[in-house]
Amino acid sequence: MSHFMSDTGSEDGLAQAHLHGLAHALGHRKSHLAESETAGLLESSAVDLLSSGFAWHYRCEDDQSAYDLALAAVRALPEGSLADGADAIIYSTCLPGNGNIGTAETWRSSRDVRHLMEFPASHLQAELELDRAVVIGLTQQGCTGFLGSLRLASSLLASEPEWERVLCVTADRFPPGSVYEQSFNLISDGAAACVVARSPGTFRILGTHHITNGGMAAATGEESIGSYFSYTQLLVRETLRRTGLTMADIDWIVPQNTNAAAWKILSRMLGIDENQVHMPSLPESAHAISSDHAINLSDLTASGRLRKGQRVMLLVAGHGLNWQSTVLEVTA
């Protein structure tokens, strides 16, 4: 039997952290690559991005905010997920300055910075009547923020004995006029939500890991791609060490939606079957910032291919530069 270690090094320190429900929401405007290229929203050619596996992406309408996406994702959680409330809300966003509530213009006219402190998680708490929940924001983990929220939620449940569940939310939309491409990946505006709780759920969180190389914070797209393979290998190796697992113990890998060719290479480097890598939403929803895992893991769950006891490794790289992982065990 594998010997599991938590981030703090204590045996089974995350044993009471389970993942309940996954939901997501995407911008209302669906566009094909050819349309976006014509509109000047891409840096690469549509042909190049199509060859990478992308085809469609979703953008918010002008009156649709990141907060609207967040609220839609939470409301899409399975019925009863928050019937007993939540002890905390962890809200992750890549773009803290993008006017998540839509008040940036008010600040420009008033010059009063309180309009830049319209924290979306506070609004979410009030709108969902999660009165006892404290609010925690993550804003500097790039596209890894959703996995960062799972890590923090697990640690909080381990350190707060009276807490039962944490609502994890991530939401981002690019400001109007933005290029919808980053590091050669087609981007979608999106949000995702889940509940991390003590009570048994579909998955048990076995362990998490996080690497940051702040010296690469200003890396170009080419430099980010150059580091992707070596750091993903390092992330996997250290995650396995921390959880007491080997690659043979991992049944599925669910990565972010990135160039399809990348995992043809990485699967060989890691010694796994390419069919174990699950990211079917790549052509349909592109890279939805931090929401890819909710989309792809939901698809894997619905596919009927998961078996009790199987282990799933979630992997993601993001600006900062950050790399994060979460290992899950199927429990239902």
- pLDDT tens-digit profile of 117-151? 778 899 999 999 999 999 999 999 999 999 999 99
Q: What is the pLDDT of residue 177?
A: 87
**pLDDT exceeds 50 at position 4:** no
**pLDDT exceeds 60 at position 11:** no
**H or E element that contains 98:** none
- pLDDT tens-digit profile of 177-199? 899 999 899 999 999 999 999 99
Given 197, 231, 262, which residue is the final one in a domain? 197
Given 197, 214, 232, which residue is the final one in a domain? 197
**pLDDT exceeds 80 at position 1:** no
Residue 242: φ, ψ to 5°: -70, -30
Q: What is the pLDDT of residue 13?
A: 44
Q: What is the pLDDT of residue 102?
A: 61
Same domain, 265 and 315: yes
Q: What is the pLDDT of residue 14?
A: 46
Which residue matches tokens 């890991």? 209
Number of structural domains found in the chain: 2
Same domain, 126 and 158: yes
- Structural domain span for residue 58: 18-197
Residue 7 resides in a domain: no
- pLDDT tens-digit profile of 49-85? 999 999 999 999 999 999 999 999 999 999 999 999 9
What contacts 24+ positions apart, CB below 8 Å, involve 266-275?
266/229, 266/232, 266/233, 269/229, 269/233, 270/233, 270/236, 271/247, 272/247
Residue 279 resides in a domain: yes
In the chain, % of residues over pLDDT 70? 92
Which residue matches tokens 């200003």? 218
Same domain, 181 and 32: yes
Which residues lie below 8 Å from residue 25, measured CB to CB, with a gap of 6+? Answer: 69, 70, 72, 73, 76, 190, 191, 192
Residue 261 resides in a domain: yes
Q: What is the mean pLDDT of residues 194-216?
A: 94
What contacts 24+ positions apart, CB below 8 Å, involve 234-237?
234/323, 235/209, 235/211, 235/315, 235/323, 235/324, 235/325, 236/270, 236/313, 236/315, 236/325
Pick the range with the lowest mean pLDDT from 155-159, 165-169, 224-228: 224-228
Q: How far apart are CA 56 and CA 283, in angstroms?
A: 6
Same domain, 93 and 168: yes
Residue 13 resides in a domain: no
Given 197, 226, 253, which residue is the final one in a domain? 197
Same domain, 191 and 274: no
- Token pair belonging to 158: 């381990």
Q: How far apart are CA 147 and CA 249, in angstroms?
A: 21
CA distances from 242 to 7, 50, 209 (A): 8, 37, 8
Same domain, 172 and 229: no
Residue 211 resides in a domain: yes
Question: DSSP assignment of 134-152, as one string?
Answer: EEEEE-SSGGGHHHHHHHH
Residue 12 resides in a domain: no
In the chain, % of residues over pLDDT 90? 77
Domain of 93, CATH number, reads: 3.40.47.10
Same domain, 216 and 160: no
Q: What is the mean pLDDT of residues 261-265?
A: 90
Same domain, 235 and 306: yes
Same domain, 91 and 207: no
- pLDDT tens-digit profile of 289-330? 999 999 999 999 999 999 999 999 999 999 889 999 999 999
Task: Assign 104 a pLDDT band (cuts: 50, 70, 90).
Answer: low
Q: What is the pLDDT of residue 118?
A: 77
- pLDDT tens-digit profile of 271-283? 999 999 999 999 9
Q: What is the pLDDT of residue 306?
A: 97
Residue 2 resides in a domain: no
Separate counts of helices (H) and strands (E) for the chain? 10, 13
Residue 318 resides in a domain: yes
Task: Assign 97 a pLDDT band (cuts: 50, 70, 90).
Answer: low
Task: Assign 235 a pLDDT band (cuts: 50, 70, 90).
Answer: very high
**pLDDT exceeds 90 at position 115:** no
Same domain, 120 and 88: yes
Same domain, 247 and 288: yes
Same domain, 186 and 313: no
Task: Assign 95 a pLDDT band (cuts: 50, 70, 90).
Answer: confident
Q: What is the mean pLDDT of residues 240-254?
A: 97
